[in-house]
Amino acid sequence: MSQSKAGSIAVFADALISAVVGKLERDVIIAKVQELESSGANLDDISKAIRKMRDEAIDAAQGEIDKAR
Amino acid sequence: MIHTLRIVFLSLLFLLPGCGSLGTVQPTPGAAASTALPEAGKQAQLAINEANVTLTTAAAVIRGNIKDQIWTKEQAQGYLDKVKLYRRDVDRAQEAVDAGNFINAAGQANAVRSLIVILHREVAAQARKEGAK
């Protein structure tokens, strides 16, 4: 399995994600990218998947804020 | 305990080697060989992807800090509003890529990514401030 794309994103986000929100969060992003790669996804597919993860993360943060007092 | 660890992590955040890469666009060797985009478009798309990964991370940090009651609702909303603002900018860069305007797209993506890095630094500074209270 080629890990070049996932590896690059990992290098970019590794310290940030690992330090702040933990390894699990990082693994979720990288695993999803690797899953796409192994299924033959191209850059367009991967870009769309990253955008989806971004929007879900923002929605989740907004949901948490809305729940807070 | 979790609160303390989070503050320590946030304080260390920008001292970590990997965080130095936040200020520059990292090349992605071998990325998307099958894509139909020309090289300039591919580089613009990779810059956009990196910005989106950073926004995803920022949102996760905000979620964690409000969930653990490190920030007030107002503080968290303020930061998330900035993330949403930057998302809009990144989406504009994406539209430029989709329209074939790769030079503008790369410039926009890199510019907004710089702003996202500033936001992260604000977040870390604020967390340190809260931790010192």
Task: Express each pLDDT in A40-65 by its tens digit.
Answer: 888 888 899 889 999 999 999 999 99
Q: Is B79 left (phi over 0), alpha (psi -120 to 50) or beta?
A: alpha
Residues of B in Cβ contact (< 8 Å) with A58: 55, 59, 80, 83-84, 87
DSSP output for chain A:
---HHHHHHHHHHHHHHHHHT-HHHHHHHHHHHHHHHHTT--HHHHHHHHHHHHHHHHHHHHHHHHH--
Contact B125, B109 (CB under 8 A): no
Q: Is B30 left (phi over 0), alpha (psi -120 to 50) or beta?
A: left
B residues 7-66 lying closer than 8 A (beta carbon) to A: 9-10, 12-13, 16-19, 21-22, 26-32, 34-37, 42, 45-46, 48-50, 52-57, 59-64, 66
- Is there a contact between B57 and A12 if contact means CB atoms under 8 Å apart? no
Average pLDDT, rounded, for chain B: 72
Which site among B43, B45, B53 would you substitute to test the A interface, given the most A Cβ atoms closer than 10 Å to its Cβ? B53
Of A20, A50, A68, the CB nearest to B9: A20
Q: For tokens 């990082």, name the residue.
A: A26
Neighbours of B67 (CB within 10 A): 16
Task: Express each pLDDT in B1-14 by its tens digit.
Answer: 444 444 434 433 43
* Least-confidence region, from A14-23, B47-56, B77-86: A14-23
CA B108 to chain centre: 14
Residues of B in Cβ contact (< 8 Å) with A68: 66, 69, 73, 76
**Which residue from A minimizes the CA distance to B24?**
A12
Task: Express each pLDDT in B22-44 by its tens digit.
Answer: 433 343 423 444 457 888 888 88
Whole-number Å distance between alpha carbons of A42 and A46 = 6
Q: Which two tokens stand for residue B26?
A: 């990292």
Contact A38, B40 (CB under 8 A): no
Contact B28, A5 (CB under 8 A): yes
Q: Which two tokens stand for residue B3?
A: 């609160």
State pTM to two decimals: 0.69
Residues of B in Cβ contact (< 8 Å) with A8: 26-29, 31, 46
